[in-house]
Structure 1
């Protein structure tokens, strides 16, 4: 598998630092969160880090499948919705966490479920950025982020074509 021209590989260390930076930004907000909803699967890792840093104990998941063959976004499918207890009052006092908002389709789906919740993502792309309240790093729409849970150790081609070591 060749990497796209604009590949952004993220190591475990970098992701942990970025997720903690997200927690710092959220802590500066001063909000007391009654619950967290993480968007699976990508939101599970940042949710673990952010919930620890902000001492959020009530953690819920919403399961939405949109990438059915890893790199092509398809039809949205809600596999598991949010519990009525968390969804009450439109999600007021609820923190939504995801790894990335890309096209904004998943974010829009969850926003419709929890319109009063605060949406936070570690990374944001321009199309999804308007749906996110807090994020750490913005990357261009044509950049593909490789998360550490998707990577193994392999040789990386140099950016300049035709050069090796």
Structure 2
């Protein structure tokens, strides 16, 4: 028996909103008629939501670090999951936001080029830009980047210093208009 006092947990005010969005995303997947065999978190932003969705749906999780842009690293792993899909495994890729569509477009194209069965592939995001050049299959909130120029700072990003958050936002100026 552990006699240590129960810790006092401190939740940031946006944490419950994040949990609500993740639960909604998992609910959309659970009741969408297409069930994944694996949840795949897209690094960095999709890793945290993917862990939550994986636990909520009791589906194993894999991760692909696309954001680091280390030559060949993500591509090698994507080749492995493409072969899983070709063998009949259903893959749900999870990311925080589908903004420009670049990540979804890159991953989807690479997977299909390496033999992935498109019927076994879905993308889910917490936020989807309706103007994106690639479409998420499942999302919780939708924005129109032509009119909504907010920069979304997710709870896991909020620990970064302000300068690095601003630098990341400025990396693609058309998002901010």
Aligned length: 134
Judge conservation of contact 2:38–2:62 (CA < 8 Å) in 1. Answer: yes
Give the 4+ runs in structure 1 shifted more than 3 A.
Answer: 75-79, 89-92
Work out whether residues 38 and 62 of structure 1, in 8 Å CA contact, stay in contact via their aligned partners in 2. yes
The answer for the alignment partner of 2:24 in structure 1 is: 21
- Structure 1 gap segments, 5+ residues each: 1-9, 67-74, 153-165
Distance 1:125 1:101, change over 3 A: same
1:16: Cα distance to partner? 1.1
Relative contact order (alpha carbons < 8 A, sep ≥ 6): 1 or 2 greater? 1
Structure 1 residue 78 displacement after superposition:
5.9
Cα RMSD over matched residues?
Answer: 2.6
Indicate if the aligned counterparts of 1:63 and 1:78 stay in contact, CA closer than 8 A.
no
Kept after mapping to 1: 8 A contact 2:38/2:59: yes
Structure 1 residue 121 corresponds to structure 2 residue 125: yes
CA drift of 1:129 comes to: 7.1
Question: 1:18–1:122: 8 Å Cα contact kept in structure 2?
Answer: yes
Specify the SS of the correspondent of 1:49: helix
SS in 2 for 1:121: strand
Which has the larger displacement, 89-98 or 116-125? 89-98
After superposition, the Cα gap between the structure-2 partners of 1:26 and 1:107, relative to the gap in structure 1 and judged at 3 Å, is same
Gaps of 5+ in 2: 1-12, 113-117, 160-177
Retained in 2: the 8 A contact 1:76–1:106?
A: no
Which residue is 1:44 aligned to? 47
Q: In 2, distance between residues paired with 1:83 and 1:64? A: 10
Query: Could you say what secondary structure the match of 1:108 adopts?
Result: helix
Q: How far off its partner does 1:37 sit?
A: 1.4
Q: Which has the higher strand share?
A: 1
